[in-house]
Amino acid sequence: MPRRQTRVTPELLLRAYQSGFFPMAETREATKLFWLNPEQRGILPLDGFHLSRRLRRTVLSGRYSVSADTDFAATIDGCAAPRPGHAETWINPDIRRLYIDLHAMGFAHSIETRLDGRLVGGLYGVAIGGAFFGESMFSTERDASKVALVHLVARLILGQFRLLDTQFITGHLTQFGAIEIPRADYEARLNNALEIAADWLPTHPDLTSTIHDLRTSGTPEG
């Protein structure tokens, strides 16, 4: 008899993250999810984040207004929407439902970037203990997703997080200092981070000063 797929619940999803797995769908129309635990895992070391001087000026200029957890559903929809270079998406209705449920439970979070009141970029992920598992980001204006990432890193530093999991490595992420590490190394870091009682901080009075203190790289762009 064919094997029935176990229904993925928010509770199962949390256990999977704590074991090093994360889900994806083949396409937006796919009806099944599959689990990944890559041999080489992407992470962005919080103490090695690279911020270009140009991008720091953009972040601190006030061009974009940035918030956290004010419109999680719109942020995940922005990540799922087709855009140049990303005609297909792995965020299907089950993925959307699961993460919205995790958001309601206090585990999934979003950073939103707005321009003149319009949502033009952002990212979302899952926070468990001292680990933040980044899922996806989007941008419809220059630097909008990068600004969200800078704000995320500042919040994680202030909240005493230990691990920012990016799952895979892209050119977009390597410019910020993202690296690949072997699965065993990742699992050790994950277990250590899960022991930490970090705080997710949607707002914090020291956020701007923390962004000021982030390491700047000599690259003109970022």
What pLDDT shows up at residue 26? 76
Give which of 23, 133, 32, 120 is closest to 71, Cα–Cα: 120
Which residues of the chain have a pLDDT value below 70?
1-6, 83-88, 202, 217-222
Beta bridge partners of 22: 36
Give the pLDDT confidence score for residue 1 in this predicted structure. 33
Taking only the tens place, the pLDDT of each residue in 138-158 is 999 999 999 999 999 999 999
Q: What is the DSSP letter of 94?
A: H
* CA 15 – CA 188 distance, rounded (Å): 16
Cα–Cα distance between 137 and 168 in angstroms, integer?
A: 13
Segment 59-93, tens digit of pLDDT: 999 999 999 999 999 999 999 987 666 656 778 89
* Structure tokens, 38: 């890559």
Task: Classify domain 10-217 by CATH number.
Answer: 3.40.630.70
Q: Say what the pTM is.
A: 0.91
The neighbour count for residue 93, using CB atoms within 10 Å, is 13
Strand order in the sheet with 40-43: 65-68, 108-115, 118-128, 131-139, 163-167, 40-43, 179-182
pLDDT at 85: 61
State how far Cα 29 lies from the chain centre: 23
Residue entry with tokens 């200092």: 177
How high is the pLDDT of residue 12? 95
DSSP 8-state secondary structure symbol assigned to residue 6: P
